Amino acid sequence: MKIILKEQGKKIPKIIGLDTIDIFKITLSRVKENIRRNIEDIEFIVFQDSFVPPDQNLVQMITEYIDSKNKSINFDNVFYINRQGDQKYTFSSVPSTVFRISDGDKFSKAIKILQDIKNKEISKKAFLYSPEETYVSLDSEIGQDTVLYPYTYIISSKIGKDVKIHQGNTISNCEIEDGVEIFPYCYIEGAYIETDVKVGPFARMRPQVKVKKGARIGNFAEIKNSEIGEDTKVQHFSYIGDSVLGRNVNIGAGTVTCNFDGKNKNKTIIGDNVFVGSGSMLIAPIKLDSYSYIGAGSSINKNVPSYSLAVERADIKIIPEWVKRKKLFDEVKK
């Protein structure tokens, strides 16, 4: 089987995460599942603006003609199927789901067709609160009894069983295991999330993130190129980059792994059962051994041994009557 992409027509934006050629390949893969003969001698010709979705009627039509007709097929100039030496054949009626995307209206129509095809598949085993406001790419997998809330975008991802994905989430190129809950308005890309993890709301994961069983990623946390251990909590307003965190670690609010020195990305290694207080700056490269404790508001640039407390703060200076002398408030200006 050979696919030839003709650079004719408009270059079309991705349709629910997929190029038109990717959609065409998925359609052919479903044809191939039903075919009774070898199709390696068949040539498929498609244009970059051709929309050929895996509509059940279309898949059946292509399958029947490949199986029974020794002819080439022209789908109304949207795509062609050729065998060497064949005469051209044109269908008298082409499904309305097959067309070339010539404008924004056709693009919107293509989105709706893919949405309907995929949502019908999903609804056989999962729950969609609002199918017309849920967008799942054709190549994504959704597990049994998973719940998808409105305004969810799932692209090229595998979602396990009993997962709850709340409204406004975008999930791309991820694998999410059973029992995970993603709270509203998270952006998760290229992550592997194990069972019983809770994420968000308003969290972000950039590529190459692994979150292990039972971990908690809080609101407005960002994680990049890192591994988060079992039962570890990365709480609100924290940034974890180029890091490995052990199990049962507590990352307090506002903690930052300072991984970039202007030239290189440096690693932060945190052992098991470490407590990092709020507002801490961990200046990489750095290692916090298991059972160490970081006091809130510290900037740490040295390795911390096990069972040690590390705290770095300037002595507080209190200046009595300073506000009155500066007359900063109306009631003390008199």
For the CA atoms of 270, 275, 276, 277, the dihedral, rounded to the nearest 10 degrees, stands at 180
Asked if residue 141 and residue 81 are part of one domain, the reply reads no
* Any domain includes 171: yes
* Any domain includes 147: yes
Domain that holds residue 88: 2-104
* Any domain includes 330: no
- Residues 183 and 199 sit within 8 Å (Cβ to Cβ): yes
Is 166 an annotated catalytic residue?
A: no
- Of residues 46, 39, 12, the one with CA closest to residue 114: 12
pLDDT > 70 in the chain, percent = 89
Is the pLDDT at 172 greater than 50? The verdict is yes
* Any domain includes 322: no
Least confident of 49-63, 75-89, 167-181: 75-89
- Residues 292 and 304 sit within 8 Å (Cβ to Cβ): yes
Asked if residue 299 and residue 188 are part of one domain, the reply reads yes
Asked if residue 303 and residue 181 are part of one domain, the reply reads yes
Asked if residue 94 and residue 13 are part of one domain, the reply reads yes
Find the catalytic residue in 27, 236, 276, 292: 236
pTM of the full predicted structure? 0.89
Least confident of 46-55, 56-65, 114-123: 56-65
* Any domain includes 327: no
Could you write out the three-class secondary structure of 9-40? CCCCCCECCECHHHHHHHHHHHHHHHCCCCCC
Asked if residue 297 and residue 170 are part of one domain, the reply reads yes
pLDDT digits (tens, 9 = 90+) for 229-273: 999 999 899 999 999 999 999 999 999 999 999 999 999 999 999
* Any domain includes 323: no
Give the pLDDT of residue 175: 98
DSSP 179: T
Asked if residue 254 and residue 134 are part of one domain, the reply reads yes
pLDDT > 90 in the chain, percent = 71
Asked if residue 230 and residue 272 are part of one domain, the reply reads yes
Asked if residue 201 and residue 302 are part of one domain, the reply reads yes
Asked if residue 243 and residue 99 are part of one domain, the reply reads no
* Any domain includes 278: yes
Q: End of a domain among 71, 104, 137?
A: 104
Asked if residue 12 and residue 155 are part of one domain, the reply reads no
69 confidence band (pLDDT: 50, 70, 90): low
For residue 266, the domain's CATH number is: 2.160.10.10
Structurally, how many domains does the chain consist of? Answer: 2
Give the pLDDT of residue 94: 66
Asked if residue 200 and residue 283 are part of one domain, the reply reads yes
pLDDT digits (tens, 9 = 90+) for 120-140: 999 999 999 999 999 999 999
Give the pLDDT of residue 329: 81
Is the pLDDT at 86 greater than 60? The verdict is no
- Residues 3 and 44 sit within 8 Å (Cβ to Cβ): yes
3-class DSSP assignment, residue 1? coil
- Of residues 172, 196, 173, 194, the one with CA closest to residue 186: 172
Half-sphere exposure of residue 261: CA atoms within 13 angstroms, side-chain side: 12
Q: End of a domain among 104, 134, 167?
A: 104
Average pLDDT for residues 101-108, to the nearest whole number? Answer: 94
* Any domain includes 203: yes
Asked if residue 99 and residue 188 are part of one domain, the reply reads no
Tokens of 141: 């997998």
